[in-house]
Amino acid sequence: MKMKLSLISAAILSTSLLLSPTASFAKLPVAVNGQQLPTLAPMLEQITPGVVSIQVSGSKEVRRRGDPLDFFFGNPQPRSQKRQFSGLGSGVIIDADKGYVVTNNHVVQDAEKMVVTLEDGREYEATKIGSDKESDIALLQIDADELTAVKLANSDDLRVGDFAVAIGNPFGLSHTVTSGIVSALGRSGLNIEGYEDFIQTDAAINQGNSGGALVNLNGELIGINTAILGASGGNVGIGFAIPSNMMKNLVDQIVEHGEVRRGSLGISGRPLDAGLAKAQQLDVKQGAYVMQVMDDTAASKAGIKAGDVIISINGSEISGFHELRSKIATLGEGREVQLGIYRDGKVKNVEVTLDGASGITAAGEELHPAFQGATLENVKKNKMKGIEVTSVDPRSPSARVGLEEGDVIVQVNRQRVESIRDMNQIIDDIQGNIVLGVKRGRESIFVLIQ
């Protein structure tokens, strides 16, 4: 049976509920403080009012292939029609006074109406404050009294083996609770989102849990449930959640700016593996190996050099370049961070003020994982504005999709782009394949990114 990664929002239409045996996962902690039986009930009674159900509805434009005669007579554009949809997901109240509810972007994307249902049955129509597709976070607001907010934990303190409890509304079954452990940290490269730094858990997560809470045994929010690995979208004990620290950084930017303004170092790099460490005679086992530093960027101003290994951010160790990219992007433009740098056998701390990710020069992976290994720069050549590919690592994803040094990107999915900012904004809104219009010398070509 083919396994697949899938987002776990559920469009509850005319579906039937299939019941099937579920696997047995982590046992509950042993009894403490003289309790006769171990139980999570006291903790859950305090926090389940902070987890809500979100019902969405709206209409989507669906493209369909036109009549073959249209193509013959010179009208090859596909026809479109609007299709009604509805869906169900979960959310977490993070600010009771302001009525802020956080959920996944894919739960509320394209929704024209969003209704939040509290544990006590009260219903409120929600307003979307802002969202970010690349990290799959959305912030809603409801006008309601006597709300319960779930306290945020410091997700950087998590360890593999910590107990975890998932709360949500799978298949429309409100306030379902499952338990497990933190199976892994810093999961990335899954191609679920543009920016990935997931908590992996074996707590049972199913369709409809999207946007729900993953909490520790103190009832503190450690993550927002987002995706599962399974056959046909069913639970097999491998689920993924966005860490609470990452969520908070994104929400803070949405509240302040109405959007996420990603941070950037202005470097290209790769994960440090055993082969690279041996070849470069490095005494560190993990981190982000810096391959190139762009001029006049946050990294160059801070004195970071090619050949450095970035091993930590604000005192927290990083496992590789994917984790560095996600953390820097979600910390946001203008933030001051402390990087742990390994150079010449010594570790030093460097203070860096992050640039915005859509400036004049950028590392390709700051726009999309498929551009990793390329450096991009705004350019104007012969009255033509675009984004020039100034370098490509021949072993990188950008080389595999067909980008070459000297290419000038002028279109993304048939939309004209004149700057990295234009390109970044368009890519953020794309679902599915990306087609780049590229000028290569005197030729115009297309590069497909699936």
Cite the DSSP H helix spans in 283-379: 298-301, 321-331
The enclosing domain of 377 has a CATH number of 2.30.42.10
Name the domain boundary from 308, 323, 356: 356
Bigger pLDDT: 393 or 111?
111
Of 224, 258, 292, the residue that ends a domain is 258
For residue 141, what are its two tokens?
A: 């607001």
Pick the closest to residue 395 from 374, 423, 418 (CA basis): 374
Say what the pTM is: 0.73
Q: Does 399 lie in the same domain as 296?
A: no
Residue 333 sits at φ, ψ, to 5 deg, of -60, 135
210: annotated active-site residue: yes
CA distance 363 to 306: 14
Whether 27 has a pLDDT exceeding 60, the answer reads no
296 Cβ partners below 8 Å, 6+ apart? Answer: 360, 361
Clarify whether residues 343 and 410 are in a common domain. no
C-alpha dist (Å) from residue 362 to 80, 196, 230, 415: 36, 19, 35, 20
Res 6 pLDDT > 70? no
- Active-site residue identified among 9, 53, 90, 106: 106
**Phi/psi at 253 (nearest 5 deg)?**
-70, -40
Q: Confirm whether 88 is domain-assigned.
A: yes
Same domain, 346 and 205: no
CATH number (domain holding residue 137)? 2.40.10.120
User: Do 50 and 139 sit in the same domain of this protein?
Assistant: yes
Question: Cβ distance 144 to 122 under 8 Å?
Answer: yes
In the numeric block, the tokens 């956080």 are attached to 102
Average pLDDT on 267-271 reads 80
- Rounded-to-integer distance, Cα 118 and Cα 121, Å: 5
- Overall number of domains in the chain: 3
| pLDDT at position 389 | 85
Same domain, residue pair 331 and 391: no
Annotated catalytic residue, options 210, 244, 358, 391: 210
22 domain residue, yes or no: no
Q: Which of 9, 131, 136, 355 is catalytic?
A: 136
Q: Are residues 339 and 383 in the same domain?
A: no
Within a domain: 377: yes
Q: Which of 1-5, 61-65, 252-256 has the highest mean pLDDT?
A: 252-256
> In whole angstroms, what is the distance from residue 215 CA to residue 187 CA?
18
Among the candidates 232, 258, 284, a domain finishes at: 258
Domain that holds residue 409: 366-449
Cα 426 to the center of its chain, rounded Å:
17
183 is known as an active-site residue: no
106 is catalytic: yes
Establish if 19 belongs to a structural domain. no
Q: How many CB atoms lie within 10 A of CB 369?
A: 19
The answer to whether 364 and 375 have CB atoms below 8 angstroms apart is yes
pLDDT band at 270 (very low <50, low <70, confident <90, very high): confident
Residues 110-158: tens digit of each pLDDT: 889 999 999 999 999 999 999 988 789 999 999 999 999 999 999 989 9
Q: Which amino acid is at 399?
A: A
Task: Please state, as a whole number, how many other Cβ atoms lie within 10 Å of the Cβ of residue 239.
Answer: 30
Enter the DSSP assignment of 18.
P
